[in-house]
Structure 1
């Protein structure tokens, strides 16, 4: 497995858009796959936000994760967010999400980010708790109850 930036493999955009639509299409804005593809073009960055890190095995896309600005508008003071962590179903349970999250943390440090936030529907924090994220609070956001977490870098 290798980790690369979306900026170095923009051909992954259609697959990521499909994953997002299939997994989270019923949440929030309900954008089409085509609209998501257009939005993902903003993530074609190497050293500034927003950006996406991909996990690949040869030409096969295994998963991805985002580092972005202001995911939840109810927290204007929380600038940097981990989001869209997704691993293809046939590759789950292999540590890929762990590697993606750690790669996002490393990239965030590299570009001078001091803390990262996230939201998850897993109120135990799951993987994120194991990786050192701390719970902030549980809130209902766009009709969905989530755990907000933070990790200082």
Structure 2
């Protein structure tokens, strides 16, 4: 398996595809949201670091970490259907953990639906609270990601 990770910047050639994935998976369910809106918010800023994974040089998935209310959040973990089952979610989660450590964070948090809890527990996330229909999970970050 040959994988590589790169940051998702405003000039990244992958930006439009990731915006399409995110829009289809999540943002299309929100009123008055377009693919263009998703594209605008996706590139890395001081409050967000987006990144993509390639599998054998093909764009295969994406994720991001966000900084909000004094916490670091893993968000938007997405692996394209044709690449699922190849361990790419783990690659994305581990990159997020390492990047969060480099940025000085001690914990990485995420919101997830109940059917995804087992997936994130494999990566040392634990449920710490419930918010509406989402579970908040957290992982203490250590240098041995």
- TM score, norm. by length of structure 2: 0.85
Q: Which of 1, 6, 9 is the matching residue for 1:7?
A: 9
1:112 aligns with 2:104: yes
**How far off is 1:29 after superposition?**
5.4
Say if 2:77 and 2:89, in contact at 8 Å, map to a contact too.
yes
Superposition CA RMSD, Å: 2.1
Kindly tell me: are residues 121 and 113 of structure 1, through their superposed partners in 2, closer, same or farther at Cα, counting changes over 3 Å? Answer: same
Alignment of 1:1-153 (within 5 A): 1-7=3-9, 10-28=12-30, 31-41=33-43, 43=44, 49-57=47-55, 59-70=57-68, 76=69, 79-123=71-115, 125-140=117-132, 145-153=133-141
Unpaired runs of 5+ residues, structure 1, are 71-75
1:123–1:147 Cα contact (<8 Å) kept: no
**CA shift at 1:123, angstroms?**
4.9
What SS does the corresponding residue of 2:114 show, helix, strand or coil?
coil
Q: Structure 2: 5+ residue runs without aligned partners?
A: none
Number of equivalences: 139
TM-score (norm 1): 0.81
Aligned counterparts of 1:49 and 1:32: Cα–Cα separation in 2: 21
Residue range with higher mean Cα deviation, 17-26 or 96-105: 17-26
3-state SS, counterpart of residue 130 of structure 2: strand
